[in-house]
Amino acid sequence: MNQFSCPLPATDDEHTWPATRQATVLRVEGEQARTDVDEVIEEVPVALVFNSISHAVLLATPSDLDDLALGFSLSEGILASRGELYDCEQQPHPRGIELRLEIAAQRFMALKERRRNLAGRTGCGLCGLESLDALARPLAPLSTGQPIPATAIGRGLAELPAWQRLRHTTGAVHAAAWIDRGGHIRALREDVGRHNALDKLLGHLARQGQAMEDGFVLVSSRASYEMVQKVAALGIRSLVAVSAPTALAIRLASDTGVTLTGFARDRRLVVYSHPEGITL
């Protein structure tokens, strides 16, 4: 299915979850204080329900949830392709949102065998794994591709602020961007959770049928093990972070063929794995 979406039921508008809300605050500047209105990001429990079985609850920003549903399913290895997702419905709930996904029977049987019960949080991507063995999801090493010009990373960084609408409004979200070889941002997703922002972007790329060798992912956060795992699962060869990677992320990137770059600021960056993926 090329253009699936997770729409809200047309007749159910009792519970709505906007991406931001207004809050009354006391703003202090030096010795002056005044009551003001601030725009704050919303953080909503989002339950992913596969074939009527609840699998994971993420704390997420309630925007681009169709991208989140598909991106999470692909990057977590629940689905092998976007065509295995048959339907998706967004069901509002007083305490959050349910994303009800209908997936291929074979993939659902495999999901049940994994017996994962994630309790997603904005700062943790591996909560709920049943054993240490479950951490190592087999990923085929990526083939060598055309390197990314370092100048493209610099251009993408320069364009990033103009695309971060929710960050400008609230100052409380992460972003994940898809950048072409010329250094231009082609897509960006935002969320309170950095893993969620990445899943939203990956879901969008999958829905568009994006050729993964034609660009790279830039994240406005540190690079964790699971973020490397997610991009590798979708065949993306280069992940760039504005902050540091973890040692575990570097080891996984080295094993899977991902060029992992951190501390990308202006004309500076540090390449931690497969430096042949960056050309000067």
Residues annotated as part of the active site: 124
User: What is the rounded distance in angstroms from the CA atom of residue 190 to the CA atom of residue 152?
Assistant: 21
CB 256 within 8 A of CB 277: no
Q: What is the DSSP letter of 84?
A: G
Alpha-carbon distances of 15 from 6, 19, 47, 98, rounded to whole Å: 16, 13, 15, 12
Pairing of strands 259-265, 268-273: antiparallel
Alpha-carbon distances of 9 from 5, 58, 85, 94, 147, rounded to whole Å: 12, 21, 19, 15, 45
Nearest to 238 by CA among 223, 124, 246, 248: 223
In a 13 Å sphere around the CA of 209, the CA atoms on its Cβ side amount to: 5
CB 230 within 8 A of CB 223: no
Could you count the other beta carbons within 10 Å of the beta carbon of residue 151?
13
